[in-house]
C-alpha cells in the first residue's frame, strides 16, 4: 500500500472521528452529576478525616491529598474511556477477563497480597494500595454484556443462557470469597441475576439460583464467627454497642443528632473517633450529621439522577452490547450505593462497601471514573470505528483490485490492437 493511500486513510479516519464527536456529543448531564458527587465526596472527606489525619498523620489534608491524586488518575481513565470505542471491549473481553482472574488469584498469595483488617484484598504499589475486586466487578459486567448480547434468543436455554454465566461469574465470586469479600460477591451475583433476567433468562432458573445464594450466604455466615457477630449486631446493635455493634450504634446516634438541617459543615462530633472509618464506608453518617436530612436528600437525588441518566444511556444505545453494558454498570453502582446507605442506617449488616464517587478509596473511585467514561462513550451513539475502518479497507482493496483488472484489460486490448495492426 502506497504512502498516499495510507495518508488518505488516516485523513479519512480523522475526519470520521471528528464528525462523530461533533454529531454525537456525550451525555453532559451524566458527567455533571458525577462531578457533583465527587465534589461532595471531597468536601465531606475533608470534614470527616481532618481531625484524625492531623492527630495521627500530622497533616490534616493527608487523605484529601491522597484522594485527589487518585481522582486525577481516575479522570485520565475517564477521558481515555470516553474516547475509546466501547465495542472494542467485547473484542478483547477474553484477555481482559483472563488478566482480571489472574489478579484475583495473585492477591491471595502471601507476600503479594496485603492483609488489612483480616482480609487479603489489596496490592501495594509505590505506597498506594489497589483492590482488584473493583476491577473484577466492572469486567464481570463487560463479560455478561458481551455474552448475553451474543446469545440473544438462546438466553432461555439452561445450557446456553444460564449455566455458562453461573460457572464463569461463580469462579470470580469464589476467588472474591477467598479474600474474603462478601459484599462484592453479593453485589456481583445480584447484578448477574438482574442482567440475566433483563436478557430473557427463565425466571425458574433465577429463582433456584437465588435459593442457592441464600443457602450459600447462610453457610458463609454461620461458618464465620465474625460474620455471625455482624448479623447479631445488625439485629440488636445496642446490646453489642461495646463490641461489634459499636460502629453502627454510633452511626445511628450521629444521624439522629443531625436532624433536618444538620449541625453545620465541619461541626459534627462523630469525626472525633466515635464512628470508625467515617471517611470510608460510613461517609453517609457525617453527611447526615452535618448536612442533616436535606443533605441526605441531595445525595440521594444525585444518585437517583445518575441511575436515570445511566438507564437512559442503556435505552438509547445503538447496539445490544452497549445497552447491556450501560444497564449493568448503572445497576451495579445503584446496588452498591443502596447497600452502603442501608448499612449506614442499620437496614443491612455491615458489608464494607464504599459509596460510589463519594467514599474515600482509590480503587473504587478510579474504577467508578473509568465506568463513567464507558457510559459517556456509549451515550454518544457514535458509529463502530472497527466496522468503519474495515469498510474503508474493503473499499480500498476493491478499488485496487478494480484498478489492476482495468490495467490488465487495457494491456490486453493494446496487445490485440498491436497484433492486428
pLDDT digits (tens, 9 = 90+) for 257-289: 888 888 888 888 888 878 888 888 889 999 999
**Nearest to 327, CA basis, from 202, 201, 191, 203:** 191
Give domain status of residue 13, yes or no. Answer: no
Q: Which residues pair with 110 in a beta bridge?
A: 113
Give domain status of residue 264, yes or no. Answer: yes
Question: Which residues, other chains included, contact 234 with Cβ-Cβ below 8 Å and sequence gap of 6+?
Answer: 248, 346, 348, 349, 350
Task: Count the alpha carbons within 13 Å of 71 in the hemisphere toward its beta carbon.
Answer: 19
| Residue-range definition of the domain harbouring residue 180 | 25-35+86-354+374-381
Q: For residues 370-397, give the mean pLDDT.
A: 72
**Nearest to 10, CA basis, from 389, 387, 386, 382:** 389
Query: Which grid cell is 37?
Result: 458527587
Query: Which grid cell is 50?
Result: 481532618
pLDDT band for position 51 (50/70/90)?
confident
**Nearest to 250, CA basis, from 286, 290, 299:** 286
Query: Which grid cell is 38?
Result: 465527587
Give domain status of residue 333, yes or no. Answer: yes
Of the chain, the percentage scoring pLDDT greater than 90 comes to 39
Summarize pLDDT for 203-254 with one digit per residue, the tens.
898 888 888 878 877 777 776 676 777 777 777 777 777 777 788 888 888 8
- How far is the C-alpha of 341 from the C-alpha of 303, rounded, in Å? 11
Highest mean pLDDT (candidates 150-164, 225-239, 268-282, 296-310): 296-310
Cα-based distances in Å from 288 to 48, 50, 272, 292, 358: 12, 18, 16, 5, 14
3-state secondary structure of 115: strand
Give domain status of residue 329, yes or no. Answer: yes
Q: For residues 406-420, give the mean pLDDT.
A: 62
Task: Count the alpha carbons within 13 Å of 152 in the hemisphere toward its beta carbon.
Answer: 4
Give domain status of residue 8, yes or no. Answer: no
Our count of domains for the chain comes to 1
pLDDT band for position 127 (50/70/90)?
low
Query: Which grid cell is 241?
Result: 454497642
Of the chain, the percentage scoring pLDDT greater than 70 comes to 82
Prior bond of 180 cis (ω within 30°): yes
pLDDT of residue 414: 62
Give domain status of residue 359, yes or no. Answer: no
Query: Which grid cell is 320?
Result: 445490544
Please check the confidence at residue 396 and state whether its pLDDT lies above 50: yes
Helix 320-344 to helix 362-379 angle (10° resolution) is: 140
Give domain status of residue 119, yes or no. Answer: yes
Residue carrying the nine cell digits 442457592: 212
pTM, entire model: 0.83
Query: Which grid cell is 296?
Result: 441526605
Cβ neighbours, 10 Å, residue 99: 13
Query: Which grid cell is 157?
Result: 436455554
- How far is the C-alpha of 27 from the C-alpha of 320, rounded, in Å? 19
pLDDT of residue 102: 93
- How far is the C-alpha of 358 from the C-alpha of 246, rounded, in Å? 23
Q: For residues 328-350, give the mean pLDDT.
A: 91
Give domain status of residue 169, yes or no. Answer: yes
Rg of the chain taking only CA atoms, in angstroms: 26
Amino acid at each position: 500500500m502506497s504512502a498516499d493511500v495510507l495518508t488518505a486513510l488516516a485523513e479519512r479516519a480523522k475526519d470520521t472521528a471528528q464528525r462523530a464527536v461533533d454529531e454525537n456529543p456525550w451525555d453532559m448531564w451524566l458527567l455533571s452529576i458525577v462531578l457533583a458527587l465527587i465534589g461532595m465526596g471531597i468536601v465531606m472527606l475533608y470534614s470527616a478525616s481532618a481531625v484524625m489525619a492531623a492527630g495521627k498523620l500530622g497533616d490534616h489534608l493527608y487523605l484529601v491529598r491522597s484522594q485527589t491524586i487518585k481522582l486525577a488518575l481516575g479522570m485520565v481513565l475517564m477521558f481515555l474511556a470516553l474516547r475509546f470505542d466501547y465495542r472494542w471491549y467485547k473484542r478483547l473481553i477474553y484477555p481482559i477477563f483472563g488478566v482480571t482472574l489472574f489478579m484475583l488469584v495473585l492477591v491471595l498469595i502471601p507476600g503479594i497480597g496485603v492483609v488489612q483488617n483480616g482480609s487479603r484484598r489489596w496490592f501495594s504499589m509505590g505506597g498506594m494500595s489497589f483492590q482488584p475486586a473493583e476491577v473484577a466487578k466492572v469486567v464481570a459486567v463487560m463479560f455478561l454484556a458481551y455474552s448475553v448480547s451474543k446469545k440473544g434468543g438462546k438466553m432461555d436455554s439452561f445450557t446456553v443462557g444460564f449455566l455458562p454465566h453461573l460457572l464463569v461469574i461463580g469462579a470470580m465470586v469464589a476467588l472474591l470469597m477467598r479474600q474474603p469479600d462478601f459484599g462484592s460477591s453479593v453485589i456481583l451475583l445480584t447484578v448477574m441475576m438482574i442482567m440475566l433476567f433483563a436478557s430473557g433468562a427463565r425466571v425458574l432458573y433465577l429463582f433456584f439460583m437465588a435459593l442457592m445464594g441464600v443457602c450459600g450466604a447462610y453457610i458463609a455466615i454461620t461458618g464465620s464467627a465474625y460474620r455471625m457477630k455482624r448479623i447479631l449486631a445488625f439485629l440488636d446493635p445496642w446490646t453489642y454497642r461495646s463490641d461489634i455493634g459499636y460502629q453502627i450504634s454510633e452511626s445511628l446516634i450521629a444521624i439522629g443528632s443531625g436532624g433536618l438541617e444538620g449541625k453545620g459543615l465541619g461541626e459534627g462530633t462523630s469525626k472525633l473517633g466515635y464512628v470508625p472509618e467515617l471517611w470510608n464506608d460510613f461517609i453517609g453518617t457525617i453527611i447526615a450529621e452535618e448536612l442533616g436530612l436535606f443533605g441526605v436528600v441531595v445525595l440521594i437525588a444525585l444518585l437517583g439522577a445518575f441511575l436515570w441518566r445511566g438507564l437512559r444511556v442503556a435505552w438509547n444505545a445503538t447496539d445490544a452490547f452497549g445497552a447491556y453494558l450501560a444497564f449493568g454498570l448503572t445497576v451495579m453502582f445503584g446496588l452498591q450505593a443502596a447497600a452502603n446507605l442501608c448499612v449506614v442506617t442499620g437496614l443491612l449488616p455491615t458489608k464494607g462497601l464504599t459509596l460510589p464517587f463519594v467514599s474515600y478509596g482509590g480503587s473504587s473511585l478510579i474504577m467508578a471514573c473509568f465506568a463513567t467514561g464507558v457510559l459517556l462513550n456509549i451515550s454518544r451513539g457514535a458509529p463502530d470505528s472497527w466496522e468503519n475502518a474495515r469498510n474503508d479497507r474493503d473499499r480500498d482493496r476493491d478499488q485496487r483490485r478494480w484498478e489492476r483488472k482495468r490495467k490488465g484489460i487495457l494491456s490486453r486490448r493494446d496487445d490485440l490492437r498491436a497484433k492486428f495492426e
